[in-house]
Structure 1
Amino acid sequence: MKLWILILLLPFSLSADERAWQAWRDGNAVLIMRHALAPGTGDPPGFVLQDCSTQRNLNARGRQQAQAWGRFLQQKTAADVQIFSSEWCRCLETGQLMALSTVEPLPLLNSFFAGRGDRLAQTSALQAFLAQAPLSTPTVLITHQVNITALTGIFPASGEGLLLALPLTEPITVLARVQPE
C-alpha cells in the first residue's frame, strides 16, 4: 500500500525542469531551438539557400554550442532523437554537430526574416505539423529567432531551446527555456 502512495507522488517530486524533460522523452513536448551562434543579422546580399558560402554561418563558438547540445541531450535520453531543421546552413550544421541522428531538412522551419518567406503561412504550417506529426521519439526542431518568436512570443538567444507542451494550445505552453551551458 505504501509503495502505491510513493509511486503516485513520484511525478510531483520531480522539479518542473525534470517534468518538462520527461514530457519531451514521452512525446508530450517538443524541443524547438534557435540555431547556434552565427554572428550578425539576416544573411548577406547574394544569399543562395544551396550555397553556404553566401550565408551567415556558425563561428567557432557556435560549433561548440551545437556540440554541447548534443552532449546535453545524450544525458537527457538514451532514445533515438529525431531532428528536423531549417534548410539554412547554420541550422543544418547545428543539428549535424549535435551528432545525435540524421538531420532532416524541413522547409517550414526556414527563416522568413526580411521577406524571405511567409510568416503567417509558415507559423500555421508548423502548428499543423506539430498537431499531426507522430512524435514517438524525442524530437528537436532547429530554426530561427523569427520563427520561434512568431510561434511563442519569445525572443530566444542563439543556441537557446524551448520545450513546448504538446498538443499545442493557444497560448502555447512553454515548459522550460533551456541552454546546455
Structure 2
Amino acid sequence: MVTELQSRKALDRFSGSDFFERKKNDKALSPTLSYPYAEQQLYHHRYEAVTNGSFLPEMLHTRTQVARTNRSLLASLKEGGYIFYTRHAEAIVGADQPNLNFQDCSTQRNLSLIGRRQATEYGETIRRLAIPIMAPVASSPFCRNIETAALAFGREYIQVDPFLYDVYRLSTNISPFDQQRILATLNSVLETPVPAGTNKVIIAHSFPVGIGLGRLPNMGTIIVRPRGYGMGFEVVAYLTLAELNRLT
C-alpha cells in the first residue's frame, strides 16, 4: 500500500516538470501523465494512480532513443500510425465566461486573427507535406478548437469529442480523483493504435505545468506513437507550427 507521504514525495519529485519545455531544451526525459504515485526509471517512466487503496491502470510511455532527423520524421509520419495531439491556435486575451455555453461562442475565448492564420497554415502545411490524416479530426467542444480544426481540415471532417473538455478541466480546480480519472482516460486515448497509412489529429488544449503532456504553445503539436492497449505510448517529437513547416 502506497502511503500518503510516498505519494506526496512522488508528486514533489516531478512538480517542476514541463514536458514541452524540457523536450525543447533536450534535457532529461519528461514525465507523462502525472499521477499521485510514481517511480522513475532511466529512459522509462511508469505511473500508477492510487484511489481508495487500489491502482488505476498503469500509464507509461518511453522516449524515442534514436534521434530523428526532419527527413526521417517526415518519412515516418507519411507511413502513418501516429497521433498528433495539437493545441488550438491563438485565442483572444481573456477568459471563458462563468456562464460558459458551448453553443454560444460569445461566452468563450475565440480565435484571434493571428490564430485563424495559424490554423489555416497548419492545414496547408500538412497537405503540402503529404502527411495522411484520418477522418474525422477530433476536436474539443470549445469554439476556438472547432474553428481551428475547421480552418485546417474543413468543418465536414470534424467530430467533437466531449472528453476533451475534461482535458481543459485539468487547468481548473478539480479534485484529485477527477484528475486521475481524466489522465487515465487520456492515456487510453493515446495508447489506442492508429491504422498504418494514416494519422489521427486531436485539436485540444495545453496542460498545467507538471500535468499531462505539459504546456504547449498555440498550435504546438506532440507526436505520439501508440503502443497498443495497456502498453502506453511513445512520445516521438514535439513541434511548434514553425518546426512543422520546416519538415522536409
**Structure 2 length as normaliser, TM-score?**
0.58
State yes or no: 1:79 paired with 2:124.
Answer: no
Q: CA deviation at 1:52?
A: 1.1
Aligned to 2:116: 63
Query: Which letter maps to 2:87?
Result: R
Distance 1:28 1:46 in 2: 39
- Verify the 8 A CA contact 1:162 1:177 in the aligned structure 2: yes
- Verify the 8 A CA contact 1:63 1:97 in the aligned structure 2: yes
Aligned to 2:142: 88
Distance 2:146 2:226 in 1: 24
State yes or no: 1:159 paired with 2:214.
Answer: no
Q: CA deviation at 1:17?
A: 2.6
State yes or no: 1:106 paired with 2:161.
Answer: yes
Aligned to 1:31: 84
Higher relative contact order (CA 8 A, sep 6+): 1
Aligned to 2:26: none
Q: CA deviation at 1:157?
A: 0.8
Query: Which letter maps to 1:114?
Result: T
Higher share in helix = 1
Distance 1:132 1:15 in 2: 23
Structure 1 range deviating more: 75-84 or 57-66: 75-84
Any stretches of 5+ residues in structure 1 without a counterpart? Answer: 1-13
Secondary structure of residue in 2 paired with 1:79: coil
Larger-gyration structure (1/2): 2
CA 1:22–1:99: 2 relative to 1, 3 Å? same
CA 1:78–1:155: 2 relative to 1, 3 Å? closer
State yes or no: 1:138 paired with 2:211.
Answer: no
Q: How many residues align?
A: 167
**Structure 1 length as normaliser, TM-score?**
0.76
- Verify the 8 A CA contact 1:34 1:148 in the aligned structure 2: no
- Verify the 8 A CA contact 1:96 1:103 in the aligned structure 2: yes
Distance 1:116 1:91 in 2: 22
Query: Which letter maps to 2:172?
Result: A
Structure 1 range deviating more: 58-67 or 25-34: 25-34
Any stretches of 5+ residues in structure 2 without a counterpart? Answer: 1-66
What percentage of residue pairs aligned between the two structures are identical?
Answer: 23
